Chain A
């Protein structure tokens, strides 16, 4: 009599099994078989040197140790077949259109609330909701110009959105630098695949930012990127993007507002600024409106913004759309605003605030992932199946004390990709963050950032929690790759 397995079902390996390698990975499989481990080790050291030299570090403060850390880079690329990408990208466009429509609505007519499709208090009493934005119509009606949508996969055709990031998603510099590293380290392997290029991202980003400039700025608006400064974890990325786009990276003190017009201080005197790609949080944008103790913001910025004299990307208040408590309603937004069925699935989510959901969650803590509704970065999270009884009891107490702070989701068997581990090449869990740009139209550079949980069995891919990254290859066609060279044409989604 067959025994019921006590372990969770095996995760979907995107490369397939040893006897049946999936088509997109055929060439990678051949390459892995023919490449000695010593050579991979050598290339890995080379890659590390490359990243150190360029200075791509991720700052982790307050934990002791080296504050300027390198995110581990895994040499084996993650491959997405053209057909898979096409499906994904259509779904991503749809989702981001709905998210923007939702933002325009909740800061405008609030039809979705009046129709009762989302509980009114869930939106209006949410910390992410900015009453200051009510009545503001940004150029083109776009609130989240740069969205990072975190996707996970559980089977050949099963993709889920784990999380929407509508505020200031980061990681796009890794998408580009990882590709640079692969082209340098393995030019031949790259040439044997037709990989859709990602190098045009900065150009597309700049086009998007220019497209949302105030009308009076004309054809050549002045665009800047606003950073909290060198101590921010993503400072490297801010400088990288500024450099790639040929724009200034500014701190709050470099800007000032006079007569509701934003200027930057330059050696040639004040220069008017039209678009600010801000990489600082809402609360710190303007001490006159939000947190008065903010030292990184610009006094008067919101007044200039509301007067239509400057554009902010992303718009303040965009965070209401990616709130974890709002997330379960995104499919509803797609239906409500677009009249379409959602193409990308959500992970089933239980809001501990709801009595029924909470009862279920407390009864199934050993099967669920519990997250802070407002948390990010993989902190304050319980992964039920991997947790100790003690940890579960602790979360039980926390949920009962503050149910509104917690949501729970079933543990998904995240897909894996072959990854270089201590003991050899082994499957590790991955996710994917594609970046979706919304200006006059929607642009997606094929691919995104693949994060990989380097620890065996771990499901946490966050770089602050020991995750690494991989280059993500979207193939330009799904035919046989052998003998083909990489196309020089640039493809943007």
Chain B
């Protein structure tokens, strides 16, 4: 297939996924801000979300302080934020429109309707108690897009590049969300850790119930780390996402008669480490160090995929 088509499909899926993740992140942060008010650290939650979405510096150039309102505006509407929900939908639709015939009608409508709705929003859509409804709606649109891809796309290269984009973006997001709360997982954290904060980590990847189904136990930091990093059952976990990335790259290579390159090596290595890794080793090394490295390697993998398939 055309490299530019693959590129557009890959990024349409990445931006759609990013919009959903940001919506999820805002939901958790606003909930946490509500419950941490008793600890007097509302701002800490919003700051953590800013860090996780990677827009710290540009945010502070525009806004005086990370208040809830400022961060929500930045993450929903602000065109200077490439990870904001509206800009993400716009970018996803733009990529989708450029390869209109490579998308199925259902996928296109999920993007197009989402964008049409979002760009008509006025600021009161996030004011008062209106925010949760909007966030739920955004997540629905992304779920619809992913579901439409799953149900309507031919299983050809086009599908694999869409999937590659979704999974790479999701892995990156999970690593970042976990990383902003890495203190919870350090050796000295044991006593001070707030149950609510642990819940928040799980909620941010929609995994609170999943934890119970897998461990049937009280929330414990090491188990949460294991679930999110190593357990292949968790669909937003690193092992599942990067495993899918490796599988998709393999499928693309097989479809082309076995042509492979650096991106296949990197993806295979990452997936294998997660598949055979132990949580004690990771926590022993330090969660922050591990996640920082994983985020960097995921970005490097993204670049290697582009080098091999898109910009050769």
User: Which positions in A face B, CB cutoff 8 Å?
Assistant: 53, 55, 229-230, 239, 242-243, 248-251, 253-254, 264-269
Contacts of A249 in B (CB 8 A): 101
Q: Is the pair B4, A242 in contact by a Cβ cutoff of 8 Å?
A: no
| Inter-chain contact B2/A265, CB cutoff 8 Å | yes
- Chain B window 71-109, contacts with chain A (Cβ cutoff 8 Å), 1 for yes, 0 for no: 000000000000000000000000001101100010010
Q: How far is the CA of A423 from the CA of B150 in the complex (A)?
A: 49
Tell whether, in the assembled complex, residue B97 and residue A230 are in contact, meaning their CB atoms are under 8 Å apart. Answer: yes
Q: Report the 6 A-B pairs with minimum CB-CB distance, sorted nearest first.
A: A265-B3, A267-B309, A268-B256, A243-B101, A239-B101, A267-B6
Q: Can you list 9 A-B pairs with a CB-CB distance of less than 8 A? A: A239-B101, A243-B101, A249-B101, A251-B4, A254-B3, A265-B312, A266-B1, A266-B2, A267-B309
Contact with A along B1-16 (1 / 0, CB 8 A): 1111110000000000
Q: How far is the CB of B100 from chain A (nearest CB, A)?
A: 6
The dominant DSSP class at the B interface is helix
Which A residues lie within 8 Å of B5 (CB)?
248
CA distance A248 to B3 in the complex (A): 11
Within 8 A of A (CB), among B54-80: none
Q: State whether A242 touches B101 (Cβ < 8 A).
A: yes
- Check: B218 CB closer than 8 A to any chain A CB: no
Please encode chain B, from 298 to 312, with 1 for each CB lying within 8 Å of some chain A CB and 0 for all others: 000000000001101
Whether B250 sits at the interface, judged by CB under 8 Å, is: no
Q: A265-B312, A267-B157, A267-B256 are in contact. Are A253 and B4 (CB under 8 A)?
A: yes
* B1 contact from A230, A239, A251, A267, Cβ within 8 A: A267
Expressed in whole angstroms, the Cα–Cα distance for A229 and B105 within the complex equals: 20
For A53, A248, A264, A268, which residue has the most chain B Cβ atoms within 10 angstroms?
A268
Q: Check B155 for interface membership: any CB of A closer than 8 A.
A: no
Chain B residues with Cβ below 8 Å from A239 are 100-101
Closest Cβ of chain A: how far from B115's Cβ, in Å? 13
Which interface residue of B1, B2, B4, B259 has the most chain A CB atoms within 10 A?
B2
Q: Which residues of A contact B97 (CB under 8 A)?
A: 230
Contacts of B111 on A, CB cut-off 8 Å?
none
Question: Is B252 among interface residues, defined by CB-CB distance under 8 A?
Answer: yes
CB within 8 Å: A-B pair count: 44
Q: How far is the CB of A345 from chain B (nearest CB, A)?
A: 41
Contacts of A243 in B (CB 8 A): 101
**Judging by beta carbons under 8 Å apart, are A267 and B101 in contact?**
no
With A267-B157, A267-B252, A268-B256 already in contact, the answer to whether A254 and B4 are too (CB < 8 A) is yes
Residues of A contacting B6 in the complex (Cβ-Cβ under 8 angstroms): 267
Smallest beta-carbon distance A144→chain B, Å: 27
In whole angstroms, how far apart are the Cα atoms of A45 and B73 in the complex?
39
Shortest beta-carbon distance, B163 to chain A, in Å? 14
Residues on B facing A (Cβ under 8 Å): 1-6, 97-98, 100-101, 105, 108, 157, 161, 252, 256, 259, 309-310, 312
A254-B256 Cα distance, complex, nearest whole Å: 19
CB pair A268 B259 closer than 8 Å: yes
- In the complex, what residues of B have CB within 8 A of residue A53's CB? 105
User: A230-B98, A253-B4, A254-B2 provided; 12 other pairs, C-beta below 8 A?
Assistant: A53-B105, A230-B97, A239-B100, A248-B1, A265-B3, A265-B4, A266-B1, A267-B2, A267-B3, A267-B252, A267-B309, A268-B259
Tell me the smallest distance from the CB of A234 to a CB of chain B, in Å.
Answer: 13
A20–B221 Cα distance when bound, in Å, is 89
Task: Return chain A residues, CB-CB under 8 Å to B252.
Answer: 267
CB nearest neighbor in B for A55:
B100
Give A229 to B97 CA distance when docked, in angstroms: 10
Q: Nearest chain A CB to B302's CB is how many angstroms away?
A: 15
List, in ascending order, chain B residues with CB within 8 A of A253's CB.
Answer: 4
B310 neighbours in A (Cβ, 8 Å): 267
> Most chain-A Cβ atoms within 10 A of its Cβ — which of B3, B5, B259, B309?
B3
- Minimum CB–CB distance from A365 to chain B (whole Å) comes to 45
- Cβ of B312 and Cβ of A269 under 8 Å apart? yes
Most B CB within 10 A of own CB, among A249, A264, A267: A267
Minimum C-beta distance from A33 to chain B (A): 38
Q: How far is the CA of A182 from the CA of B19 in the complex (A)?
A: 40
A248 touching B2, Cβ below 8 Å: yes
Measured in the bound complex, the distance between the Cα atoms of B161 and A347 in whole Å is 55
Distance between Cα atoms of A251 and B98 in the complex (Å): 10
Q: CA A452 – CA B108 in complex, angstroms?
A: 31
User: How many Å from the CB of B150 to the closest CB on chain A?
Assistant: 21
A352 to chain B, nearest CB (A): 43
Contacts of A265 in B (CB 8 A): 2-4, 312
Bound CA–CA A126/B128 (angstroms): 67
In angstroms, Cα B157 to Cα A142, docked, is 37
CB distance from A325 to the nearest CB of B (A): 38
Query: Roughly how many angstroms separate A249 CA and B100 CA in the complex, as a whole number?
Result: 11
User: Given the complex of chains A and B, what is the CA–CA distance between A253 and B310 in angstroms?
Assistant: 12
Chain B residue nearest to A236 in the complex (CB): B100
Query: Which chain A residues lie closer than 8 Å to B161 at the CB level?
Result: 267
Bound-complex Cα distance A229 to B95 (A): 12
Chain A residues contacting B4 (CB-CB under 8 Å) are 250-251, 253-254, 265
Rounded to whole Å, the gap between the CB of A50 and the closest CB of chain B is 13
Q: Which residues of A contact B100 (CB under 8 A)?
A: 55, 230, 239
A265 to B259, CA, bound (A): 15
**Central interface residue in A55, A248, A251, A265, by most chain B CB within 10 Å:** A265
Nearest chain A CB to B197 CB, angstrom units? 43
Report how far A53 CA is from B108 CA in the complex, Å. 10
What residues of A have a CB within 8 angstroms of the CB of B108 in the complex?
Answer: 55
Nearest CB of chain A from residue B170's CB, rounded to whole Å: 22
- Bound together, the chains give a CA A264 to CA B2 distance in angstroms of 7
Q: A266: which of B3, B98, B105 is its contact (CB, 8 Å)?
A: B3
